[in-house]
Structure 1
Amino acid sequence: MVLLALGRRTNSSTSDTKESPVVKRKVLPVEYKAGDDFDFCSGASHSEGILQVFNEFRDCRLFTDVVISVQGREFPCHRAVLCACSSYFKAMFCNDHRESREMLVEINGIEAKAMEAFLNYVYTGRAKITTENVQFLFETSNLFQITTLRDACAKFLENQLDPCNCVGIQRFADAHALKQLASRCKNYALANFSEVSNHEEFLDLRIEELKDYIGREDLFVSKEEIVFEAVMKWVYHNVDQRRPMLNSLLQHVRLPLLHPNYFVQTVEGDELIQNAPECYQLLHEARRYHVLGNEMMSPRTRPRRY
């Protein structure tokens, strides 16, 4: 049995001294079933509602206690909200750093637009990721250690893979230790090599990167002529600096597998190759294979996996 105490406060009028208000209680006996406790939870709507109010406070500069300055643009914020979302800001404001005592905190190395998108995510849980802001937003969320937003940016980049950008996205992934994204980029470029080699990013590859592609067994090409033409296109793009690299690159091209007519007319007829004595051994190997066939074996006479 549970007793409910109901009543109202009254002031004593008979005493000469001023007394505190008292409560006259009326106890009502109520019977409840045992074990019927109710753990109420309003769900995510409760936290979302609070965040929405905090965001309104931010817009009105109400209760804001810090201003984040990025590229000269000021963003009023609540330290508590920033600390709750980001261990970066928690370390900044909760330890005895200079920023914990200052009203204006300047942050360098990020874009103001990315900071705006980042704060919208902090206060609403939503972010608009675009091709224009994805890299800046990734770097900002990575700096502030917001893994959910960082991973969303990485997923967005993965969905944007195209022959025209997979090389650049892979470089971005390598620079930020995004192993899964880098692997997806590499596999995409290997599977679409003939298209990738026709775009500007391909011509800007470092020689080590190019060798890594053309030296792979799983490079998907319908014929080896595609690999040869991609190498020559890369060399001719900056011929003065890349001429000395020609021989080391052709080591990874399977010249013996080229069609004999193509080999004679295009490869042996190329002026750059004609003036590169260091490549003659590779040409001789291809000629021998065209005459002897499978009787002559080398790493360059083995067809690629595809």
Structure 2
Amino acid sequence: MSASSPDAVRAEALTRRFGDFTAVDGLSFTVAPGELFGLVGPDGAGKTTTLRMLAGVLRPSAGDAFIRGIGVARDPEGVKHEIAYMSQRFGLYADLTVMENLSFYADLYRVPKRERPARFERLFHFSNLAPFKDRLAGKLSGGMKQKLGLSCALVHQPQVLLLDEPTFGVDPISRRDLWLIVHDMVAQGMTAVVSTAYMDEAERFDRVALLHQGRLLALDTPAALQRGLPGEILLAQVADVRRARDLLARHPRVRRAAIFGDALHLNVADAAADAPPLETALRDAGLAPAALRPIAPSMEDVFIEHMTEAT
């Protein structure tokens, strides 16, 4: 790392255009060494494009990013020695076994042969793939493929880990296992930048960058973003959530009404004072709810708030 660059990752007005379309628009942030940093937002937010630029795979249209002091625009090949990048479609070889895939990536990254047994054992410990080391990668479940892909990315012990939606489409147990691996690596000093569209995963990060249409909406710790949400949140469980949402969205005591599964989150100024008149409004409309109750804001509440402000 450059002595003049204490950040593990730094983006400076990072921008990427595809013709007239701007996928990433002037994105700036820093990531400290050993930090678990999240790029959080829906599809089309610019997460994958940002990670591809950080990995040196895609050249920025404007701005720059630095990995341990190495500029991705000036020296994309130099960046690749510092990172592991796991894309949404990581290049496993279906006709090779688990062990053969690991050995192939160890060859690719020029891992010394004397160091491989210890590294493989450590990766098998994290991933729980040892019982399947002789199974073809093409015969693994989706979650096991993701864990193998992550193990292959980690075989050369990179300083910075870049993961593009690693838990997308995997089962809950594999999702938990993947996060355990990432947290273990960060606890040992690795820096990780991880993208996700799952708002419930945002609370796992040390800090999160909320992205929407290529722009940065907010950047802070999850707890600070939740504390900074204006007003308070009331939970309303009703039979007809859409009708209730349409009714309460027009109520003068409600800043915002959003559907969360079979319930509503109502952003109000004062939960204790606003709950009784809102319960009355629901009853008068034939939508008698269970008692409205205050809850802590979720990261999805935070994202909706910032997205609404930006549009």
- TM-score interval, normalised by the smaller of the two chains: under 0.3
The structure with the larger Rg is 1
TM-score between the two structures when normalised by the length of structure 1? 0.26
TM-score between the two structures when normalised by the length of structure 2? 0.26
By percentage of residues, which structure has more strand? 2
Structure with more contact order per residue of length (Cα contacts < 8 Å, sep ≥ 6): 2
